[in-house]
Amino acid sequence: MTYPATGQPRLVELGTAACIPCAMMAPILKDLQAEYAGRLQVESIDTFQNPGAKQQYDAPFCATQIFIDPSGKERFRHVGYYSKKDILAKWKELGVDLQAPPLSSEKQSPRRSDA
């Protein structure tokens, strides 16, 4: 599947608060979101609160993680609990370097010296 391009890799997780694997994923997703801010977009979608998401992402099962590249192309999908170590290893396998510094949204302009 293809999704809108965001310019950054994206990890989308579909789940619910009542799902045990989803509850186990929640702290991992928060950790990834904080640790890789500016390099990886992490989105957690509660399918009870947003029932249309299951159809939108073609994800009938809870605790579905979707790996989407910066151009919006789905690169990998996993169902169930997925450890942080495995998530990072999958991004690396997909050729995404999350260790690279975040891209700045503003270009630096050269400073002028009028002295």
Residue pair 67/3 in contact (Cβ under 8 Å)? The answer is no
The dihedrals phi and psi of 73, each to the nearest 5 degrees, come to -85, 130
Nearest CA among 7, 8, 25 for reference residue 16: 25
Q: Check residue 2 and give its pLDDT.
A: 84
- The domains of the chain, with CATH numbers, are 11-93 (3.40.30.10)
Q: Check residue 113 and give its pLDDT.
A: 42
Q: Check residue 83 and give its pLDDT.
A: 97
Between helix 20-35 and helix 84-93 the angle, nearest 10°, is 60
The dihedrals phi and psi of 95, each to the nearest 5 degrees, come to 85, 20
What pTM does this model have? Answer: 0.84
Query: What number of other Cβ atoms are within 10 A of residue 19's Cβ?
Result: 19
Q: How many whole angstroms separate alpha carbon 54 and alpha carbon 105?
A: 31
Q: Check residue 106 and give its pLDDT.
A: 43
Low-confidence stretches of the chain (pLDDT beneath 50): 105-115
